[in-house]
């Protein structure tokens, strides 16, 4: 058994999509640990496998996708011996339905699809409460109002009877978070929950999640492509590229000592106020990462990032797949710059 504060572990997860064009290896050997009271940020460009990792954890991978290999372990709180092997549960099984929306809850990437337009906000929250807890309709309504006020929706007793389309984007996102929190989950997965919102509303939602995390001691898996949001919310960060975690550490180490050339490139592509100011004078452009994410059906030899890597070492990066190594305590990276044999280091030194 892992340490007491661990809620869930993902070990060597492989999730594939079997399509006419070929097999898309959406998640290709991911390891992650989610802990009580901590937020793990998952960051990476579009298509790198963030959502599919989250959907695998909830047993919600849509067809023709399939968890092909690996383990997803959930440790229910209150027990020091029980382990639920989520990867072995059928998506529609009673056991999985008892966990999903109850112990592990998710705020989906598309807010409008999380709520049915034809039912009131309150009815949808009450349904989640009644499904998982033995309470009367009246009690479920009281709890729905309580949770709507917890997410700082004004006049929760009125909002409970509104339809999702009657709310603004920010209010609707709060209602979706309220629905996800209605059964006090141990783990909340938030998939780009603020992408469609303006920065002020985004900041309020991030504050709200932090406050709710303290109250509930929840673990949060926060998915975003925005490193600025990661800096605000995450304790630890996993950087994903083409279905793999290429670097993982605590948030301040990632920002102050990024190791992987992909992480370094992502950091160079965030606008800084200095750059914005400088750009007006010097016409300075923000750096982008050269090249495109390769086609997901291709199996690239060597490191998945090598075609775009500014520190590419011929004969090594295009031939040998780098293993994960722990460069410093709790700072792991998948890159030959830190693992390659002696000649690779010589090549690197020559370039420095
Ligand atoms: N429904 C699907 N059918 C076929 N392939 C899919 C499907 N969903 C995901 N994939 C494959 O899995 C890969 C990873 O998708 P995923 O949705 O996890 O990306 P993401 O990191 O969440 O991207 P984004 O930032 O755009 O949300 C995609 O590049 C695609 O190849
Ligand atoms: Mg996604």
Beta bridge partners of 333: 247, 325
Instruction: Determine contact, residues 188/105, Cβ cutoff 8 Å.
Output: yes
Instruction: Choose one of 14, 24, 195 to mutate for the ligand 1 pocket test, by most ligand atoms within 8 angstroms of C-beta.
Output: 24
Q: Which ligand 1 atom lies nearest to the CA of residue 48? A: 21
Order of strands across the sheet with 84-85?
22-35, 6-19, 65-74, 84-85
Report pTM. 0.90
* pLDDT tens figures, 75-113: 998 777 899 999 999 999 999 999 998 899 999 877 667
Please give the Cα distance from 160 to 146 (Å, whole number). 10
115-to-107, 123, 157, 175, 268 alpha-carbon distances in Å: 11, 10, 18, 9, 37
H/E element holding 105?
A: strand 104-107
Per the CB < 8 A criterion, the answer to whether 296 and 25 are in contact is yes
- Better-scored residue on pLDDT, 341 or 211: 211
- How far apart are alpha carbons 139 and 150 in whole angstroms? 16
Q: Decide: 50 in ligand 1 pocket, CB within 6 A.
A: yes
Distance (Å, whole) CA 267 – CA 287:
9
pLDDT band with cut points at 50, 70 and 90 for residue 30: very high
Ligand 1 close to Cβ of residue 66 (< 6 A):
no
Atom of ligand 1 nearest to the CA of 223: 22
Model pLDDT for residues 49-83, shown as the tens digit of each residue: 999 999 999 999 999 999 999 999 999 987 778 99
Determine which of 84-88, 228-232, 238-242 has the lowest per-residue pLDDT on average. 228-232
The CA distance from 74 to 53, in Å, is 15
Q: Is any ligand 1 atom within 6 A of the Cβ of residue 243?
A: no
Contact 136, 218 (CB under 8 A): no
CA distance 283 to 191: 35
Q: Is 47 in the pocket of ligand 1 (CB under 6 A)?
A: yes
- Residue 348, pLDDT score: 47
SS3 118: coil
Q: Which residues is 107 bridged to in the sheet?
A: 190
For residue 124, what pLDDT is reported?
A: 93
Ligand nearest to the CA of 44: 1
Domains of the chain from N-terminus onward: 6-234 (3.40.50.300), 258-351 (no CATH)
What distance in Å separates the CA atoms of residue 308 and residue 294, rounded to the nearest whole number? 9
User: In which residue are the tokens 């030959």 written?
Assistant: 336
CB 191 within 8 A of CB 153: no
Q: Which two tokens stand for residue 320?
A: 């040998």
Look at residue 92 in the predicted model and tell me its pLDDT. Answer: 93
Instruction: Specify the residue with its C-alpha closest to ligand 1, atom 12.
Output: 26
Please tell me if the CB atom of residue 225 comes closer than 6 angstroms to any atom of ligand 1: yes
Q: Which one-letter DSSP state was computed for residue 166?
A: G
**Contacts of residue 81, Cβ cutoff 8 Å, sequence gap at least 6:** 1
Determine if ligand 1 sits within 6 Å of the CB of residue 48.
Answer: yes
Enumerate the β-bridge partners of residue 224. Answer: 43
Element spanning 295, H or E: none
Mean pLDDT of the chain: 88
Please work out whether the CB of residue 46 comes within 6 Å of at least one atom of ligand 1: yes
User: How far is Cα of residue 279 from the mean position of the Cα atoms in its chain?
Assistant: 32
Beta bridge partners of 286: none
Contact by Cβ (8 Å): 8, 15: no
* Across 281-300, average pLDDT: 70
Mean pLDDT, rounded, for 150-177: 91
């Amino acid at each position: 058994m892992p340490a007491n504060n661990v809620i869930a572990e993902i070990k060597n997860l492989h999730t594939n999509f079997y399509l006419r064009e070929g097999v898309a290896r959406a998640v290709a050997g991911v390891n992650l640990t989610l802990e009580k009271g901590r937020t793990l940020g998952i960051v990476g460009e579009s298509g790198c496998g963030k959502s599919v990792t989250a959907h695998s954890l909830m047993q919600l991978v849509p067809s023709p996708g399939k968890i092909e290999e690996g383990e997803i372990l959930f440790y229910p709180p209150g027990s020091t011996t029980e382990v639920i092997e989520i990867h072995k549960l059928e998506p529609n099984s009673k056991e999985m339905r008892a966990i999903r929306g109850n112990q592990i809850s998710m705020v989906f990437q598309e807010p409008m699809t999380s709520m049915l337009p034809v039912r009131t906000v309150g009815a949808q929250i009450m349904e989640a409460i009644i499904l998982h807890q033995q309470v009367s309709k009246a009690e479920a309504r009281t709890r729905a109002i309580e949770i709507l006020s917890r997410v700082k929706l004004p006049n929760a007793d009125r909002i409970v009877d509104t339809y999702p389309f009657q709310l603004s984007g920010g209010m609707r996102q709060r209602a979706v978070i309220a629905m996800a929190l209605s059964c006090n989950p141990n783990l909340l997965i938030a998939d780009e929950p603020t992408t469609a919102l303006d920065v002020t509303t985004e900041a309020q939602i991030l504050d709200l999640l932090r406050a709710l995390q303290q109250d509930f001691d929840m673990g949060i898996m926060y998915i975003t492509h925005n490193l600025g949001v990661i800096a605000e919310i995450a304790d630890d960060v996993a950087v994903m590229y083409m279905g793999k975690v290429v670097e993982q550490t605590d948030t301040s180490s990632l920002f102050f000592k990024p190791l992987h050339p992909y992480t370094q490139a992502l950091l160079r592509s965030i606008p800084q106020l200095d750059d914005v100011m400088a750009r007006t004078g010097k016409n300075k452009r923000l750096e982008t990462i050269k090249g495109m994410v390769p086609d997901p059906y291709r199996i690239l030899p060597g490191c998945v990032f090598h075609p775009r890597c500014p520190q590419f070492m011929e004969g090594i990066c295009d031939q040998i797949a780098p293993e994960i190594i722990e460069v410093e305590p709790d700072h792991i990276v998948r890159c030959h710059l830190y693992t390659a044999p002696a000649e690779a280091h010589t090549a690197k030194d020559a370039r420095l």
